[in-house]
């Protein structure tokens, strides 16, 4: 028993000795690796602290004025800024995208630019910027999909529009966006004289979204579609 304990003690001492010898022989390498890790950590922290955060702050400052123009319905100034403005941040969504497109505000500016182009009747540009937007929240990706549908309708691409509206309705079954997406799809089906599919859309709103503001209108649309 004592012999076994002594052998284990000898083995441990031998292992420690070999470890110390390895550390001594490779001290520069080990220190170098540690230093490299520290540099990487500091670099990541530095990028976030001194580059990413200030860029986000500047982007937020720039986009604020453009969003005020959007809220007022001044879509052109929202896009391009107002050259008469004395506000140094009085630029439009396109400038924010160009300079800070990788920031959170810059990404959101693509969604808002799509809205502006749609309202200005520039449907190709609306589709372009809606296609660049990849929101992660619950609401804006659904609206963005409907923007694509609206632009396609205006271009006469009704089949493509229906695909966007149908996708939007399935993305989130909330009572705000889903009924409107279904309604838009139903109206386009009427335009295509696919009346039974229009009825399906209107009936879905009536049965699945009684809390929607569209609910009370659906009987009339269903009756109209069935009469065609």
pLDDT in tens, 39-93: 444 444 443 443 445 567 777 788 888 898 989 999 999 999 876 655 555 689 9
Kindly list the domain boundaries of the chain, sorted by start residue.
135-228
Residues in CB range of 80: below 8 A, 6 or more apart: 92, 94, 95
pLDDT of residue 226: 93
pLDDT of residue 141: 92
Four-way CATH pick for 135-228: 3.40.50.10190, 2.120.10.30, 1.25.40.10, 3.90.1150.10: 1.25.40.10
d(CA 13, CA 163): 73
- Picking from 81, 107, 106, the residue whose alpha carbon sits closest to that of residue 92 is 81
How many residues can be counted in the chain?
228
pLDDT in tens, 96-120: 999 888 888 889 899 999 999 999 9
pLDDT of residue 44: 40
pLDDT > 90 in the chain, percent: 51
Cβ count near 170 (within 10 Å) = 13
pLDDT of residue 43: 44
Looking at per-residue pLDDT, the higher value among 41 and 125 belongs to: 125
Q: Taking residues 140-151, what's their average pLDDT?
A: 93
CA 57-60-61 angle, to 5 degrees, is 90
Banded model confidence at residue 206, pLDDT cuts 50, 70, 90: very high
pLDDT in tens, 5-32: 444 444 444 544 554 554 455 555 444 5
- Picking from 93, 138, 89, the residue whose alpha carbon sits closest to that of residue 111 is 93
Residues in CB range of 123: below 8 A, 6 or more apart: 117, 151, 152, 154, 155
Token digits of residue 201: 């859309």
Residues in CB range of 87: below 8 A, 6 or more apart: 65
């Amino acid at each position: 028993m004592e012999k076994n304990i002594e052998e284990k003690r000898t083995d441990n001492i031998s292992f420690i000795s070999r470890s110390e010898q390895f550390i001594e022989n490779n001290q520069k390498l080990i220190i170098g690796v540690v230093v490299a890790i520290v540099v990487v950590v500091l670099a990541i922290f530095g990028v976030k602290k001194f580059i990413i955060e200030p860029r986000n702050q500047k982007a937020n400052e720039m986009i604020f004025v453009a969003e005020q123009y959007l809220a007022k319905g001044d879509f052109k100034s929202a896009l391009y800024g107002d050259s008469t403005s004395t506000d140094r941040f009085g630029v439009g969504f396109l400038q924010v995208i160009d300079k800070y497109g990788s920031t959170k505000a810059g990404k959101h500016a693509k969604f808002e630019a799509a809205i502006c182009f749609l309202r200005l009747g520039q449907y190709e540009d609306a589709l372009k910027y809606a296609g660049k937007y990849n929101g992660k929240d619950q609401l804006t990706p659904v609206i963005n999909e409907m923007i694509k549908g609206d632009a396609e309708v205006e271009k006469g691409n009704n089949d493509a529009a229906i695909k966007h509206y149908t996708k939007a309705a399935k993305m989130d079954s909330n009572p705000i966006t889903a009924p409107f997406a279904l309604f838009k799809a139903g109206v386009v089906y009427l335009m295509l004289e696919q009346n039974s599919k229009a009825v399906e859309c209107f009936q879905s709103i009536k049965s699945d979204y009684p809390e929607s503001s569209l609910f009370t209108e659906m009987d009339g649309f269903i009756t109209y579609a069935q009469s065609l």
